[in-house]
Copies of this chain bind each other. A is one copy, B any other.
Amino acid sequence: MTKRIVVVGAVAAGMSAASQAKRRRSDAQLVVFEKGSDISYGACGMPYNLADAERSIEDLAVLTPQQAIEERGIDLHLRHEVTHIDREARQVVVRNHDSGEDHSEPYDALILATGARPRTLERLPHMDHERSLVLRTLQDGRKLKPLLHKDARRAVILGGGYIGLEMCESLQRRGIQVTIIEKTPQILPGWHTETVARVMEELKDHEIAVHTDETVVGAEQAEDGSLAALVTSSQKIPADLVLTAVGIQPNAELAAAAGLRIGASGAIWVNQYQQTSDEMIWAAGDCCEAYHRILRKNSWLPLGTTANKQGRIAGANASGESLRFRGIVGTAGFKVFDLEVARSGLSLEEARKEGFEPVMVTIRQRSRGHSFPGGAPVYVTLFADGPSGLLLGGEIVGKDGAVLRINTLAAALAAHLNVADLQGMDLVYAPPFAPVWDPLLVAANQLIKKIGK
């Protein structure tokens, strides 16, 4: 009998999973239900698309529904939402949003890729205004882009995380004045103060106003119904556009209602084979947790690259393989104007919470050899466990060669190396790319001195 693999969600992990399963087992029937109208798009590319007036937002699509059906042999159903999982009967209830009707679909294997949704402030006065938007889906981009073409002049971005920071440059390029509001005492919550200081400098150099420690009270509407201002507990900021980027939460309700185990993070629990607590149900992407190699337990750090990896593994395993997800180490990077910013590993706070005794240094070193023009300072913050020397994490920030350097640390963290191992690494030396002592080696040298071994 033909194996029937049902996938819930077709945005990132879902489509990876379905494609992988079909590729490995061409005789299987791959049925994908997606409640929205879009599949597989590069959400992380949205800020760069929005910055470019000439480019269609539809460019972000990486695969069309037609390609999924015709080239990949996937039985794809858009605007079909899975509303219930009957684990006993191995079937799901699907609502067709066009006809409004429900029907049941059997499965031999089920893959959940329900993603995450943005936290919103819509409950606050006027925050549901048509010019108060979130930025998550391609559909959100479709709403926002025309506003940038028209009359937007002053925007307030709620949330000083990296999506908010990336949007600063995009909006400013479109001639829009930007203010960031962050409710905690610093932008980039969880990042080290040295990195935050560099980012704040860069924002200041580009005339972005930043207000931290501010709570949003609501928006204010003019008499003609237009958006007039964003109101916080301490001030009123004139604005004709409000973008909310205050984080996301996992779409785990469907799984929870079916009695699947939900992790401490609120996302679906999975083992390293992307299996949920039901052995015939797999999960992948932003809806579920990911094994963290340093913590040696699950964590929830939703990112596109993890979603793609988990999707492939869930798809392969649902089709009969037994691949293991190696796990994340917390790598992330972004660009804010000319500044490159990246991290990998735990934050100091996470490390302390786990019982480590982190010792830290921040160093400054040129990105290139001193004989080569065009370099810039690179700041490396590195920390390790004092008693054992185990590397725990680091941050790199600078205007040249900062982000790509984080992968060396990511590799070291994945291999559970200690700071002496990093110090001894044979990293490339060539004046156009790196000084004799690469910034990472300088950081390791200094950290070893501080740890005293």
Selected interface stretch from A110-118, A121-129, A186-194, A410-418: A410-418
Flag whether A308 is at the interface (Cβ < 8 A): yes
Select one of B308, B417, B428 contacting A333, CB under 8 A. Answer: B428
Selected interface stretch from A90-98, A239-247, A400-408: A400-408
Residues of chain B with a CB closer than 8 A to A431's CB: 42, 44-45, 48
Flag whether A335 is at the interface (Cβ < 8 A): yes
Whether A421 pairs with B415 at a CB distance below 8 angstroms is yes
What is the distance, in angstroms, from A339's C-beta to the closest C-beta of chain B? Answer: 11
- CB proximity to B under 8 Å, residues A391-446: 401, 403-408, 410-412, 414-415, 417, 420-421, 423-434, 436-438, 440
Flag whether A60 is at the interface (Cβ < 8 A): yes
Flag whether A303 is at the interface (Cβ < 8 A): yes
Whether B333 pairs with A424 at a CB distance below 8 angstroms is no
Residues of chain B with a CB closer than 8 A to A329's CB: 426
Whether A426 pairs with B371 at a CB distance below 8 angstroms is no
Selected interface stretch from A77-85, A262-270, A320-328: A320-328
Whether B371 pairs with A428 at a CB distance below 8 angstroms is no
Closest to A334 in B: B430
- Residues of A at under 8 Å CB distance from B? 42, 44-46, 48-49, 59-60, 62, 293, 303-306, 308-309, 325-335, 340, 342, 344, 369-373, 401, 403-408, 410-412, 414-415, 417, 420-421, 423-434, 436-438, 440
10 A-B pairs closest in CB distance? A45-B371, A326-B424, A411-B411, A305-B429, A415-B415, A404-B404, A333-B428, A407-B408, A333-B430, A335-B432
> Can you give 5 A-B contacts (C-beta < 8 A)?
A42-B371, A45-B369, A332-B430, A403-B433, A415-B417
